[in-house]
């Protein structure tokens, strides 16, 4: 499902090309089986977001072999990569909502990009907005929403098309305990329905309440798997 073999990552730095940029990830290897659930932990700056970017094809590794949803990512064409991305739901640490679209249209966006007919989109958007408790805010633009509300819209957008793989980067960072609890219920429910789930977080209380194997990285190295 997700397979890393000796994966290294270094960011291309436009400002100092060739200036021996530091390796952000070093020799990472792990495997997450289909339908699995993993916490991804580690101190700030350890490389959690960077590792997730490799999974959702937002960065290429400097070295190593990566398979996502059974597909070796080094060998996909651009259109195949797009099709692969459509099967991955991502909750970004910084939400990344489109500022010019209201909550409803932000959530509907991935399905529209996948050319799903409008009639089949509506019910799904309505349902997920209820789940994240924002039905009444469907016409609000992102800047009109609180941080926590934006985060819930971002979560709704990631899960609405029932992805095979769900990646959540600090999905509860801006939420109160109740909301965080609700979101974790949503993620575990999806996991029970067969979605592979990876959640990066610092929140140890959350991890204790929802026990699952953890990948821990420190300074770009995997120090714990399981």
Ligand X SMILES: Nc1ncnc2c1ncn2[C@@H]1O[C@H](COP(=O)(O)OP(=O)(O)OP(=O)(O)O)[C@@H](O)[C@H]1O
Residues that bind Mg ion (CB under 5 A): 48-49, 93
Q: Residue 46, interface with ligand X (CB under 6 A)? A: yes
In the region spanning residues 87 to 146, those forming contacts with ligand X, defined by CB under 6 A, are: 93
Q: Which residue is nearest to Mg ion (CB)?
A: 49
* Chain residues that interact with other proteins, rule: CB under 8 A: 56-60, 78-79, 82-86, 90, 96, 98-101, 104-105, 108-110, 112-114, 118, 122, 125-126, 129, 135, 138
Q: Is 48 in the site for ligand X (CB under 6 A)?
A: yes
Cβ nearer to other proteins, comparing 41 with 106: 106
- Asked if residue 49 binds ligand X (CB under 6 A), the reply is yes
How does 50-66 read in b/e, with b if 16+ C-beta sit within 10 Å?
A: bbbbbbbbebebbebeb
The distance between the two most distant Cα atoms of the chain, rounded to a whole number of Å, is 52
Q: Is 50 near ligand X (CB under 6 A)? A: yes
Q: Which long-range contacts (CB under 8 A, 24 or more apart) does 111-116 make?
A: 111/160, 111/161, 113/86, 114/86, 114/161, 116/161
Please work out the total of residues on this chain that contact ligand X, with binding judged by CB under 6 A. 12
Strands 165-169, 196-200: pairing is parallel
Contact call for residues 26 and 8 (beta carbons, < 8 A) = yes
CA distances (Å), origin 44, targets 9, 23, 24, 37, 121: 17, 16, 12, 22, 37
Q: Taking CB under 6 A as the rule, does residue 194 contact ligand X?
A: no
d(CA 103, CA 181): 22
Contact between 24 and ligand X by CB under 6 A: the answer reads yes
Q: Any contact of residue 11 with ligand X (CB under 6 A)?
A: yes
Q: Which is nearer to other proteins, 99 or 211 (CB)?
A: 99
Minimum distance of other proteins from residue 108's CB (angstroms)? 7
Rounded CA gap, 12 and 69, in Å?
A: 26
Residue 176 CA to residue 149 CA, distance in Å, equals: 11
Minimum distance from residue 190 beta carbon to other proteins (Å)? 18
- Span of 40-48, 69-77, 101-109, 203-211 interacting with ligand X by CB under 6 A: 40-48
Cβ closest to other proteins, residue 47 vs residue 142: 142
Closest contact distance (angstroms) between CB of 225 and other proteins is 26
Residue 43 CB neighbours (<10 A): 12
User: Tokens at residue 75, please?
Assistant: 């060998």
Q: Which of Mg ion, ligand X, other proteins, none does residue 126 bind (CB under 5 to 8 Å by kind)?
A: other proteins
Contacting residues toward ligand X, per CB under 6 A: 11, 13, 24, 42, 44-50, 93
């Amino acid at each position: 499902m997700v397979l890393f073999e000796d994966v290294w990552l270094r960011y291309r730095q436009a400002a100092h090309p060739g200036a021996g940029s530091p390796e952000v990830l070093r020799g990472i290897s792990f495997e997450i089986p289909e339908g699995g659930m993993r916490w991804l932990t580690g101190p700030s700056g350890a490389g959690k977001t960077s590792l997730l970017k490799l999974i959702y094809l937002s960065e290429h590794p400097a070295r190593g072999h990566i398979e996502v949803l059974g597909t070796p990512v080094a060998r996909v064409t651009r259109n195949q990569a797009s099709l692969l991305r459509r099967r991955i739901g991502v909750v970004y640490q910084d939400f990344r909502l489109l500022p010019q679209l209201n909550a409803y249209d932000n959530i509907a966006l991935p399905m529209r990009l996948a050319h799903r007919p409008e009639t089949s989109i509506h019910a799904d958007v309505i349902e997920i907005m209820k789940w994240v408790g924002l039905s009444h805010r469907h016409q609000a633009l992102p800047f009109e929403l609180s941080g926590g509300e934006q985060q819930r819209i971002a979560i709704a957008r990631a899960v609405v098309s029932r992805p095979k793989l769900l990646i959540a980067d600090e999905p509860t960072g801006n939420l109160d305990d109740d909301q965080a609890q609700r979101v974790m219920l949503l993620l575990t429910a999806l996991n029970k329905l067969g979605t592979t789930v990876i959640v990066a977080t610092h929140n140890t209380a959350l991890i204790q309440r929802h026990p699952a194997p953890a990948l821990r990285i420190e300074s770009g190295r995997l120090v714990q798997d399981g």
